[in-house]
Amino acid sequence: MTLTDNVTKRIISKLINGLDYRIEIVALIDAEFLQYVLDFFKQIVDAKLKNQLITADWYKNEFLNAERPTDEVIINSGLNKKTISNMYNTAKREIALDAAWEHYEVLYQIINDLIENNSEVSILLTIKFRNVSVELNISESLIVINTLAVKRAAIRGGAWSTAGKQVEKLLMKTLCMLFDVPEKHFDQTQLPESMREVDFYLFDATLNEKYRCEVKLMGKGNPEGADVIIARNSKIFVADKLSDLNKRQLSELKTHWVELRSTNGYKRFSNVLEELNIPHRKFDGNIDSKLENIFSILFS
């Protein structure tokens, strides 16, 4: 999933204005998932009309096919790559595929056991497409429901990961431009290419000192904050929300933090710039107008 420029702008604008940005991601997840549901239902109708049974074999052939990318097969089986890596100390393709197929056989047996032990329950799923109607029995319906659940989880995980990757550096640039930090003090081309890929740095007035910045669009109470700082030796930590514990931990580590969700939280970034001797100007103007001007540059 890729965020459009308009969605990215809205997320950054909401973050800086201290508003919740998550509805933007949830809306994208819903839209992509519902489109997948419609497309998948069309495949089911087509399979039924061709007299193919919607069975475990059909699902396995379609969604656990070895010709598919490894990550897709893993997700479609109801697993994730990290689980396989933890189980086998590796996630190489051949091992991952075997683990996915084995897991799916277990899953299908669970479906059969559930049906056998709940004979009083009946499910009949009817799908209509272009005046053609097909019906799925309880076994077929549970296979379809499981497919949709796994896909929803995959879309959700990908969306949140994409949001972080696409928004974080642009958010830092926006904050810098909001306080008129000269570009050379956040120009990432001064860094080796390997560092530019994953990090964002600010440079002091002399350009000799550089400060690693960390952005986490996490919820309050997330225990990851201090661990990330310790592991990566970050000097500046910008977050959507921080708990009191997070703030104490960061302060003890002498890490400058900014909580955007607090009232005028973005203004704390000006204090950070001041303390680290990074050239800037105070900002007290219309935030929306300023953001509009910044976006016209960043997204041109």
**Stretch (H or E) spanning 274:** helix 268-275
pLDDT of residue 96: 95
The percent of the chain in helix, strand and coil, each rounded to the nearest 5, is 60, 10, 30
Is residue 169 a part of any domain in this protein? Answer: no
Residues 12 and 150 in one domain: yes
Residues pairing with 201 in the sheet:
212
**Stretch (H or E) spanning 129:** strand 125-129
pLDDT of residue 233: 77
Residues 188 and 258 in one domain: yes
Residues 154 and 76 in one domain: yes
Cβ distance 191 to 201 under 8 Å?
Answer: yes
* DSSP labels, 80-145: -HHHHHHHHS---HHHHHHHHHHHHHHHHHHHHHHHHHTTT----EEEEETTEEEEE-HHHHHHHH
Residues 230 and 99 in one domain: no
Tell me how far apart the alpha carbons of residues 251 and 72 are, in angstroms, rounded to a whole number. Answer: 42
Encoded tokens for 215: 């952005």
pLDDT of residue 220: 58
Encoded tokens for 259: 């909580």
- Kindly list the averaged pLDDT for each block of 10 residues, start to end, along the chain of length 300: 86 95 92 92 79 66 87 84 88 94 90 88 86 83 86 86 88 97 92 70 94 81 56 85 89 93 94 97 94 95
Is residue 135 a part of any domain in this protein? Answer: yes
Residues 22 and 139 in one domain: yes
Residues 184 and 61 in one domain: no
pLDDT of residue 65: 87
Among candidate residues 161, 195, 218, the one where a domain is terminated: 161
Residues spanned by the domain of 131: 5-161
Residues 64 and 152 in one domain: yes
Is residue 171 a part of any domain in this protein? Answer: no
Q: How many domains does the chain have?
A: 2
Is residue 297 a part of any domain in this protein? Answer: no
Residues 126 and 198 in one domain: no
Cβ distance 17 to 287 under 8 Å?
Answer: yes
Please, which residues have CB within 8 angstroms of residue 228's CB and are 6 or more apart in sequence? 214, 216, 234, 237
Residues 200 and 140 in one domain: no
Residues 116 and 203 in one domain: no
This prediction has a pTM of 0.78
